Amino acid sequence: MIKTVTIVFLCFLWIGCYKPEIQPIPTSITVTGPSEATETQSVPEVSKTEAISESRRNAITNAVEKASPAIVSITVTEVETGYGREFDPFFFRFFAVPTQREVRSMGSGFIISEDGLIVTNEHVASKSAKTIVVTLTDGTDYEAELLGSDELADLALLKIKNPDKKLPFVKFSDSESVMVGEWAIAMGNPFGLFADGQPSVTVGVVSATKRDFRPDPNEPRVYIDMIQTDAAINRGNSGGPLVNSDGEVIGVNTFIFTGGTSSGFVGLGFAIPSERVQKIIKQLEESGNVSLDFDPGMEFTQMTRQLVYQYRLPAIHGLFVTSVNKNGPAYECGIMPGDIIIRIGKDKVGSEMHAWALMREYEEGEEMKVTLVREGNQYEAKMTLRKSVAGR
């Protein structure tokens, strides 16, 4: 009995003294391939700087990066004619003497083809320009020529002379799909700040679309269906693009509305929609000017007090039809000399130039509604647009 107890006691003592060897847990994963070779894979660490840098990128920065290389600064030199006073000692009096001086102005534009076609405003580069120099974002200067301009639409098309490389360019977006409230990015050369080689960028939203501005009878330009934005547009931004978040052009920055409060930006900027821009520049590239692709077959003039008194007409705003071609669309739809056109489509006619601008929205083969007044009664005529034909 004593022997058995002694054996059990010695067994417990041996178990208590035994210390098993503990194997360390591997911190890496061993991958064994078919060739029985092994390699250790570790998880890469992303630095905080890289993470922050990536978080700063968004749709706007991507759009700016995409469109910036195609933005140009435009410097135009014009010869301005004026009059000065010169004293003639023989007659002992002052006479007005014609004088000429060179005037420099700056604006913005953007390249639309790799061979150097540039879109800008007509009031930036017009037919009176003596020299036109464009500056790219890399600081390179090129001389440019005017292919054509249209005062009515306030658009001009330039071409870089002898470009020595393929140039970066931007694409147009469909302005009909523009949504109120979406991002709008204005790019250009405000106040001539382009000297450092980079265009200025301002960001806002599309505030409204299809804004019409009735022109002064003495003002030839007509602005229809304009895009309104609160992206800051200032002097020198004229002719630059209004870009969407895809980096595509939805309009051409043209003017601001101050409401008589100041001469600076107050949150109301306007751009010519890309759909109209593309129609105009296509004709400018082909022929250097813009014309209707149909003949309305009538002539008209703006209503004046003299016409009202002379022909005892109603005192209303509109266009007085002076003649109608018997082989033209106007005659076929019933328009006669003496009628007063008050609407073209849904738009009231503000002036003769405004009427031509409205008719530019139509193409040959389409139907144009004309609202007119005859002997105090209002009528609506539907004109099928086509070119005039020879006498029958």
> Please, what are the domains in the chain?
67-160 (2.40.10.10), 175-287 (2.40.10.10), 298-384 (2.30.42.10)
Q: Output the tens digit of pLDDT for each of the chain's 392 residues.
A: 555 544 544 554 444 444 445 455 444 444 444 444 444 455 455 577 777 777 788 999 999 999 999 999 999 998 767 666 776 666 666 666 676 677 888 899 999 999 999 999 999 998 888 999 999 998 899 999 999 999 889 999 999 999 989 999 999 999 999 999 999 999 998 887 776 667 899 999 999 999 987 655 556 688 889 999 999 998 889 999 999 999 999 999 998 887 665 566 777 899 999 999 999 999 999 988 888 889 999 999 999 999 999 888 899 989 999 999 998 999 999 999 999 999 999 888 878 888 888 898 888 899 999 999 998 899 999 999 988 665 43
Q: 26: closest CA among 37, 14, 41?
A: 41
Q: Of these residues, 73, 149, 154, 295, which one is catalytic?
A: 154
Confidence (pLDDT) at 267: 79
Confidence (pLDDT) at 363: 87
The contacts of residue 370 (CB under 8 Å, 6+ apart) are 333, 335, 341, 343, 344, 380, 381, 382, 383
Is residue 238 flagged as an active site residue? yes
Confidence (pLDDT) at 383: 94
What are the tokens at 382?
Answer: 């539907």
The contacts of residue 270 (CB under 8 Å, 6+ apart) are 211, 213, 223, 226, 227, 228, 229, 253, 254, 255, 256, 257
Q: Of these residues, 123, 175, 274, 295, which one is catalytic?
A: 123
What are the tokens at 158?
Answer: 């330039």
Q: 319: closest CA among 346, 332, 338, 297?
A: 338
Is residue 216 flagged as an active site residue? no
pTM of the shown model: 0.74
Confidence (pLDDT) at 78: 84
Q: How far apart are the first and last CA of the chain?
A: 145
DSSP calls for 284-324: HHHHSS---SS---EEEEE--HHHHHHHT----SSEEEEEE
Give yes or no for a contact between 129 and 78, defined as CB atoms under 8 angstroms apart: yes
Report how far residue 279's alpha carbon sits from residue 282's, in angstroms, rounded to the nearest whole number. Answer: 5
SS3 of 194, please? helix
Q: Of these residues, 73, 108, 173, 238, which one is catalytic?
A: 238
Place of tokens 């000017």: 289
Confidence (pLDDT) at 18: 47
Is residue 291 flagged as an active site residue? no
Q: How many CA atoms lie within 13 A of 203 on its CB side?
A: 11
